[in-house]
Amino acid sequence: MTANAVLTLPDGQTVALPVVVGSEGEKAIDISRLRYRTGHITVDDAYENTGSCRSAITFIDGDRGVLRYRGYPIEEVAKRSTFIEAAQLLIWGELPTTEQRMRFSDLLTDNSALPEDFRRHFSGFPPHAHPMSILSAMINCLQAYDLPGQVIDDEEELERVAASLISKVRTIASAAYKSSISEPIMYPRYDMKYTENFLHMMFSRPYRDYVPSPEATRALDLFLMLHADHEQNCSTSTVRMVASGQANLYASAAAGVCALWGRLHGGANQAVLEMLTAIQTSDVSIHDYVTKVKDRRSKVRLMGFGHRVYKNFDPRALILKKAADDLLDQMHVADPRLELARQLEAVALADDYFIERRLYPNVDFYSGIILTALGIPVEMFTVLFAIGRMPGWIANWAEIHRDPESRIYRPRQVYVGQTERPWLLQSQRGGSSEPDPV
């Protein structure tokens, strides 16, 4: 029996609204019939209190710092899985059997190379082009080379297109980087697994192979796994919006890349490292910097801190903080910015400004330290986030396309502009008295 919330309007009209309870006990008021029954809509700037969908992919409890992929705690996934296995879990809902894992691995390998004439597009971008602009353009361009993939009617076709996108996004990213440093674009190797192959394409040269260490490969695989999905964040909601109109998977993923680019979202990992570097190379003390952050007039934020959902530690940040420690130890690399990040975290977590606002380190606070240790340039950080998030975008796209009841997303608005008014002739508008255009 569904319980109801009762809404009483100023005119005394009351309406019963069903309360929906999720599998983890979250409660939501279903307002899908509100406008039809009362003529009212709701308004919720930035969707802070609005659930856009019912989804079974990822669960977050922001108050308790809980994150689960299809019911598996992120700590277990990080310890026991790989990025590609996590991708299959997110997209198809279960941990893959050996046969499923082998089949998907073969599809990734078979779909890792870019069409030969596709590669010439990279030379069309100026060297200073941001790789996120290249990535979104090239993902959209991929669909022109995969016309059958523009219509996905069954799981077999979804598996092929998913493998193509997950595999090629890595090849495109490395090609964008190589083009930006005027080095030859490297071909993927068919004897390498996903993450190792990406590092090969990023850092090998035709005359000299780069062989990543197992520690470096594992650290990057962990980074990608932790970024794989995060319920209805800005970029995933964008993918769902585009998918709801029945745009194809390539177009939806390209839209996700553009949304992720924002510095408040996926662009934050680049902004964190730039912040740490700026503090490190300036004579500004940590306390002075934090004081500036707390002064709202400065408009300076502590990048990598705060989250719309987590009002506790982001579990991914805790895992990445330890991974950064371990990787630098294993590589015998010292990065003073890691120590600086630790000090910033300690100062912020003891400061009432951050405590009152429940601001904690998020996934971006330590991730850049790992990427820097791997030799990934800061301009590529958000691209790495996009590579990691691709399985989550695909899983959300598929969740919409598997749902026969799915409808196009089309929010309403509260109009606050001009009410109806008479047309103004040119002569009535002020300025020079030009004749009217028609």
Out of 170, 240, 307, 401, the residue judged to bind ligand SDX by CB under 6 A: 307
Contact assessment for residue 315 and residue 65, using Cβ atoms and an 8 Å cutoff = yes
Would you count residue 170 as binding ligand SDX (CB under 6 A)?
Answer: no
Which residues are CB-neighbours of 366 under 8 A, at least 6 positions away?
A: 304, 317, 320, 321, 323, 324, 338, 341
Which among 307, 314, 335, 401 is annotated as catalytic? 307
Report how far apart, in Å, the C-alpha atoms of 18 and of each of 1, 3, 15, 156, 167 are.
Answer: 10, 6, 10, 38, 43
Residue with smaller CB distance to ligand SDX, 149 or 361: 361
Q: Which of 265, 321, 337, 401 binds ligand SDX (CB under 6 A)?
A: 265
Q: Is 301 in the site for ligand SDX (CB under 6 A)?
A: yes
Query: Per-residue contact track with ligand SDX, 213 to 252, x per CB under 6 A?
Result: -----------------x--x-------------------
Q: Is 335 one of the annotated active-site residues of the chain? A: no
User: Contacts with ligand SDX: how many residues (CB under 6 A)?
Assistant: 21
Nearest-approach distance from CB 420 to ligand SDX, in angstroms: 35
Determine whether 364 is an active site residue. Answer: yes
Interface with ligand SDX (CB under 6 A), residue from 64, 322, 357, 429: 357
Residues 195-214 that bind ligand SDX (CB under 6 A): none
Residue 363 in contact with ligand SDX, rule: CB under 6 A: yes
What is the edge-to-edge ordering of all strands in the sheet holding 58-61?
Answer: 58-61, 66-69, 72-73
- Binding to ligand SDX (CB under 6 A) within 1-60 occurs at none
Which of 164, 181, 182 has the alpha carbon at shortest distance from 172? 164
- DSSP 3-state assignment of 44? coil
In terms of DSSP H, where are the helices of 246-363? 249-260, 268-281, 286-294, 315-330, 336-349, 352-356
Specify the stretch interacting with ligand SDX by CB under 6 A; choose among 67-75, 206-214, 264-272, 332-340. Answer: 264-272
Segment 111 to 130, residues that bind ligand SDX, using CB under 6 A: none
Residue whose tokens read 């010439």: 120
Catalytic residue among 229, 314, 364, 401: 364
Q: Which of 308, 318, 331, 343 binds ligand SDX (CB under 6 A)?
A: 308
Nearer to ligand SDX, 40 or 308 (CB): 308
Within 246-312, residue ranges assigned H as helices are 249-260, 268-281, 286-294
Edge-first strand listing for the sheet containing 14-21 = 4-8, 14-21, 27-29
- Applying CB under 6 A, which residues contact ligand SDX? 230, 233, 264-265, 268, 293, 296, 301-309, 357, 359, 362-364
